[in-house]
Amino acid sequence: MDAMRANLTLAGRDPVVAPRQHAIPGDHVARNPGLPLDLDLVLAQRVNRSAAERRAATIPTRRTVKKQWQAAWLLRAITMIDLTTLAGDDTEGNVRRLCAKAMRPLRPELEAQLGVEGLHITTGAVCVYHQLVPTAVEALGDSGIPVAAVSTGFPAGLSPFETRVAEIRASVAAGAKEIDIVITRGHVLRGDWDALYDEVRTFRDACGAAHMKAILGTGELATLTNVARASMVAMMAGADFIKTSTGKEPVNATLPVSLVMARMIRSYFEATGFAVGYKPAGGIRSAKNALEYLYLIKEELGDRWLRPDLFRFGASGLLTDIERQLEHFATGRYSATHRQPMV
C-alpha cells in the first residue's frame, strides 16, 4: 500500500510525463471487489494541474493513424460506444430505433465496401433512463448488447438516498446489466470521503451482478486533485468503471481529466491486480476527438484497456461522424450527415 501511495501522487518533479510500465491484465478481467477505505491513501493524491495539462496537450501530437489503420481504430471505437439517449422527449419508438442502430451501426453497403460484414460489429451497450429499460431489453433481444440504465437521481444525484438505491434495484430487475450511478458531488467538495465511500459501496451492493459505472461529474469537482481522490474512493468502494460526466454539466470529458483518471486506474491495478474500466462522456462528437482518447488510453494503460469490457464512450452523436469518416475511407467522399441517421 505504501508503494501505491508513492505511485499515485502527481505532484513534485513533473512525474506526469515520466515513462511507466503498462499494467497488463489477462484476457479475463476479474471484477473489482473494492477495498476498505484508506483515508491516508486518498489524501495522498495531489495533482500538478500544469503538468497534467502539458501532458494531455501532447496526446493529439504524439501519435496519429491514417488510412486503413485509422479505419481499424474507428471500427474498434464503435464497439466501445454506449449508444445513449437521455433526452426529456425520449419515447419507446426512439429507443427501439436506437437499439436497431446499436445492433447494426454501419449501413450494409458500407460494411461491404469495408469488407467487415463477417465481424458483426455492434456498439458496446445502449444507455437509457430507467423507465425505458424494458423497451430496450425487448428490442435488443438475444443480441448480447447490454442495456445500461442511468440511475440514482441522474443527473444531479440529489434525490432521497433510499429512492436512489431503490431505482438501482428496479433497473436491475427490469433487465439492465449495467448501472451508471451518480455520486453526490457535495461529498467531494466538502472532503467527506467516508460519506462518498459509503454511498458508492451501497450503490454497488444494490447493483448485484450488474456492473456499476460511477459518474464523478468531474466538471463540478473544482480541482484535478478532487478528481483523483474521488476516482480512488469510487474504485475502493467497488466501482467497475469510473466515468467523467453525465453529459449535462457545463464541462464534461476533457483530456487532462482523463489523464488523471487513467493514472488512478493504473495505480489501482498495479497495487491490487483489479482492472477498473474508464468511460469518458459528454461532448465527444467527432471521430478525431474519439481517437485522441484512444491514444491516451493506449499510452497510459495499454492495449488491454482498448476493449469494451474496460473502455466505453458515453455518446449519442459520435457514431454519425465515425460513419462519415469510414465512408470517406471507403469511397473518397464525405456523405451528408442524414445518410447516417441515428434514429
Cis upstream peptide for 155 (omega within 30°): yes
Rg value, the chain, Cα: 19
What number of other Cβ atoms are within 10 A of residue 206's Cβ? 22
Distances (CA, A) of 299 to 261, 269, 304, 328: 13, 16, 11, 27
Contact 86, 95 (CB under 8 A): no
Active-site residue, 321 included: no
**Strands 277-279 and 313-315, sheet pairing:** unpaired
Contact 108/137 with Cβ under 8 angstroms?
no
Decide if 279 is catalytic.
yes
* 323/325 Cα distance (integer angstroms): 5
Rounded to an integer, what distance in angstroms lies between the CA atom of residue 230 and that of residue 224? 10
Q: Which of 101, 177, 213, 279 is catalytic?
A: 279
Residue-wise DSSP of 74-111: HHHHHTTEEEE---TT--HHHHHHHHHHHHS-S-HHHH
Question: Which residue among the candidates 180, 240, 309, 321 is catalytic per the annotation?
Answer: 180
What is the full DSSP assignment across 147-171?
EEEE-SSTTTT-S-HHHHHHHHHHH
CA torsion angle 327 328 330 333 (round to 10): 100
Residues belonging to the active site: 180, 243, 279
